Structure 1
Amino acid sequence: MKIAIVGGGSTYTPELIDGIARLGLPVTELALVDPAEPRLATVGGFARRILAELGHPARLVTTTDLDAGVAGADAVLLQLRVGGQQARHSDETLPLECGCIGQETTGAGGLGKALRTVPVVLRIAERVAALAPQAWIIDFTNPVGIVTKALLDAGHRAIGLCNVALGMRMTIASHLGVAPDRLGIDHVGLNHLTWTRSAVLDGKDMLPELLRTHGGELSARVGLPVALLRNLGVIPSYYLRFFYAHDIVLDEQRSSPSRAKKVEAIEAELLTMYADPGLTQLPQLLTQRGGAHYSEAAVQLISAVIGDTHAVHVANTRNDGVFPFLPDEAVIEVPSEISAAGARALPAAPLDPLFAGLVAHVSAYEQLALDAALHGGLERVERALLAHPLIGQAAMAEPLAARLVAANAEYLPWAR
């Protein structure tokens, strides 16, 4: 089996390589693809040492040539960041000027990232279709929901991947003192807009008891009041904090450095560590980079789709009637059956109106955001901003659209 990782120079990559080796995925070749050659060489060298340390026989190659990297692959993982941390900094700070949340996947920042990212991902996917038509594209590139919809709408074999659901499952399992694979969670919504509605152990939903006994820890994990979690009877993902505690988060963002600046410093230190020829294990600092459990999520998904196991994993895929208030072609994040045919969303209990309203609102925004990313135009960008529940006012959307386009013009041919 050959796996290509586009964005292979990412500081995430060693965590992924460690997971592949530790969990014994039967890979014969790993191709790390990235245009940043010095960074790729550093990450690739460390990745080879990890494979050797864990005794995995896979051959690892690094290349700046996309075609060479993806040719003949069975799975292609996308984990790229168009514009790097500098563009992310803009995503996180520019909206603050208009009184809006600054975040790289949610709200105006997420739209900026989508505008830059969707065209690049689609060009990569076209090369995958030409050179590895049997390959599945596993998209970890944010905003995952929008990017996955772009891929599926264009006819590509794609599944969206996020680590949030697996992280929540492992957190709950830890609190219950059980192995994660004994636990089933009902984790539903859109990417970065999800709620965990149940945690079933041996046929019993443990979530009510968990909220009673470990509500404080869960509250701290998602950054929301424990009283809210108990009132809703669910565990919202951390990203719901941008909606449920908007003004608090906005004040925090205005008074602290952007996450991009923090990550930039972490990455510089990580790359220095990775360059040490004596380093053969993941440094503790990597846990501060984010993306915890990414490797487990990726390995499980690849194993299921390549092995045609029909296992159930939370994935981003077509709605196809699961939520009747959304179009079938919308992309949702729910427990899905994973097989050689891809991801099939499993039937889900109806969403509480409180959750359904927000899902419908953000899903409509995602459709407009994709339209703007595919076809360009200041008016389309403004329409997407008007549709987002965190913006939604003309007095904000109009100047914000102009600033977003200007800040990203380098990556938007239609805006130059």
Structure 2
Amino acid sequence: MKLAVVGGGSTYTPELIDGFARLRDELPLSEITLVDPDVRRLELVGGMAERMLARAGHPAKVRTTTVVEEGVAGAGAVLLQLRVGGQAARNVDETLPLECGCIGQETTGAGGLAKALRTVPVVLDIAEKVRKHAPGAWIVDFTNPVGIVTKALLDAGHRAIGLCNVAIGFQRRFAAGLGVSPDRIQLGHVGLNHLTWERSVLLDGEDVLPRILAEHGEEIAPSVGLPVELIRHLGVVPSYYLRYFYEHDLVVEEERSKPSRAAEVAAMEATLLEMYGDPSVDTKPALLEKRGGAFYSEAAVALIASLVNDRGDVQVVNTLNNGTLPFLDDDAVIEVPATVGAGGATPLPVDPVEPLYRGLIAHVSAYETLAIDAALRGGEERVKDALLCHPLIGQASLSGELARRLIEANRTFLPWAGSL
């Protein structure tokens, strides 16, 4: 099977290649095509990918192209991992909101909206090319904000599923702490992308979450950025991104006191690209682990393999709600365990969600609908409405100021902004 990676010049790509090489029996590939507008990155990352596969004795050919139509043609699956505007735009997403006293983050709040405004139209354009040149292909979206991008794809009728590494990261962490293999762990994972809680951890069908919180709470708390007392009080394990809601003011102070994550990543990327250009390097550098995306390749391989081989196993994905969470619209995109096969993903039944989480899920889901509308139709008022709806902002004067500033900072990427 041919697999196309749009955004293939990303420094993440060797993480993917490492997974494809290790898990070749699970997902046999004959060709991996890397698509990216950056010729220099393509050359460096493509060369690295070829050496890694050769070292592993993997037969797949690596091809590179700047032309989306050429890259996706005939693919069985297309993986999206792009960043419109690169780390420079991300740096604005993470710093501009701080000037207004708001969280600076690339996937949620004002920064997440800015990224969605830049990204959604580009992704939909790519998806139309996939529809034309690889009509049977599944689109697997790893591009943030995953929930918003996946919903935009599904709203437009594309064969798409969203993927995040938060759930598989928890699964692997809990399995390691319990000294068992990950396949024995099933998560009670519920919510929206980057807004999820682990409400149960089943080990061979038995819920061991209370034991995990009692015995490993002090280890888990720093990894999710929340006090252990709060986690034990809630009786769940929130994702790291919940700290932006539960500890908003503290996080704003932290972010103002140190360089942005974008600045750190930009420096890492420069080093990684230099490594990728070294013809003697043919294994994934240890530095890549600090770049983020742990277990990304394992999650991607498992999902694509299930889609093309109709395995019918259970994985945590971003897909249509369709009544799973009755307090959301059917066309909302949720992140939950689902049965995955050739027909896509079907969410497993979910126990009623407690009001403490239900309210926040509904609030952010409504924002995501407004964010897509702003991304597709543009206009300062639509951007303002999305910000006004977001629980991390929600003030009229603040929403207006942020809307104006975000539009101005991203004008280059927003065709509709030229008329404002």
TM range (shorter): over 0.9
CA–CA distance in 1 between the matches of 2:204 and 2:142?
31
TM-score normalised by length of structure 2: 0.99
What code does the residue aligned with 2:353 have? L
- Give the corresponding residue for 2:170: 168
- Give the corresponding residue for 1:345: 347
CA–CA distance in 2 between the matches of 1:172 and 1:352?
23
**Counterparts of 1:93-108 in structure 2 under 5 Å?**
93-108=95-110
Paired residue secondary structure (2:96): helix
Match status 1:196 vs 2:198: yes
Q: CA deviation at 1:55?
A: 1.1
- Give the corresponding residue for 2:77: 75
- Give the corresponding residue for 1:4: 4
- Give the corresponding residue for 1:373: 375
Provide, for residues 46-70 of structure 1, a one-character-per-residue CA deviation record: whole Å limited to 9, x for no partner: 0011101111111110111111100
Match status 1:245 vs 2:244: no
Q: CA deviation at 1:181?
A: 0.7
Percent identity among equivalent residues?
66
CA–CA distance in 1 between the matches of 2:124 and 2:292?
26
Provide, for residues 188-218 of structure 1, a one-character-per-residue CA deviation record: whole Å limited to 9, x for no partner: 1000000011111122111100000000011
CA–CA distance in 1 between the matches of 2:171 and 2:231?
16
Provide, for residues 363-405 of structure 1, a one-character-per-residue CA deviation record: whole Å limited to 9, x for no partner: 0000000100010000000000000000000121000000000
Provide, for residues 208-252 of structure 1, a one-character-per-residue CA deviation record: whole Å limited to 9, x for no partner: 000000000110110101111111110000000000111110000
CA–CA distance in 2 between the matches of 1:176 and 1:340?
33
Match status 1:330 vs 2:322: no
Paired residue secondary structure (2:14): helix
Q: CA deviation at 1:318?
A: 0.3
State which of 402, 405, 408 in structure 1 corresponds to 2:407.
Answer: 405
CA–CA distance in 2 between the matches of 1:183 and 1:265?
36
Paired residue secondary structure (2:44): helix
- Give the corresponding residue for 1:274: 276
CA–CA distance in 2 between the matches of 1:221 and 1:124?
35
- Give the corresponding residue for 2:18: 18
CA–CA distance in 1 between the matches of 2:67 and 2:206?
51
CA–CA distance in 2 between the matches of 1:152 and 1:202?
34
Provide, for residues 64-86 of structure 1, a one-character-per-residue CA deviation record: whole Å limited to 9, x for no partner: 11111000000000000000000
CA–CA distance in 2 between the matches of 1:69 and 1:12?
18
CA–CA distance in 2 between the matches of 1:337 and 1:41?
38
CA–CA distance in 2 between the matches of 1:336 and 1:287?
28
What code does the residue aligned with 2:16 have? L
Q: CA deviation at 1:34?
A: 0.3
- Give the corresponding residue for 1:319: 321
Query: Structure 1 runs of 4+ off > 4 angstroms?
Result: none
**Counterparts of 1:248-259 in structure 2 under 5 Å?**
248-259=250-261
CA–CA distance in 2 between the matches of 1:243 and 1:312?
29
CA–CA distance in 1 between the matches of 2:288 and 2:21?
17
Provide, for residues 244-287 of structure 1, a one-character-per-residue CA deviation record: whole Å limited to 9, x for no partner: 11111000011111100000000000000111101111111001
Q: CA deviation at 1:142?
A: 0.3
What is the RMSD computed on CA atoms of the aligned residues? Answer: 0.5
CA–CA distance in 2 between the matches of 1:265 and 1:331?
34
- Give the corresponding residue for 2:183: 181
Number of equivalences:
416
> Tell me, which stretches of 5 or more residues in structure 1 are unaligned?
none
What code does the residue aligned with 1:12 have? Y
**Counterparts of 1:112-261 in structure 2 under 5 Å?**
112-261=114-263
Match status 1:301 vs 2:303: yes
> Tell me, which stretches of 5 or more residues in structure 2 are unaligned?
none
CA–CA distance in 1 between the matches of 2:205 and 2:117?
44
CA–CA distance in 2 between the matches of 1:231 and 1:322?
26
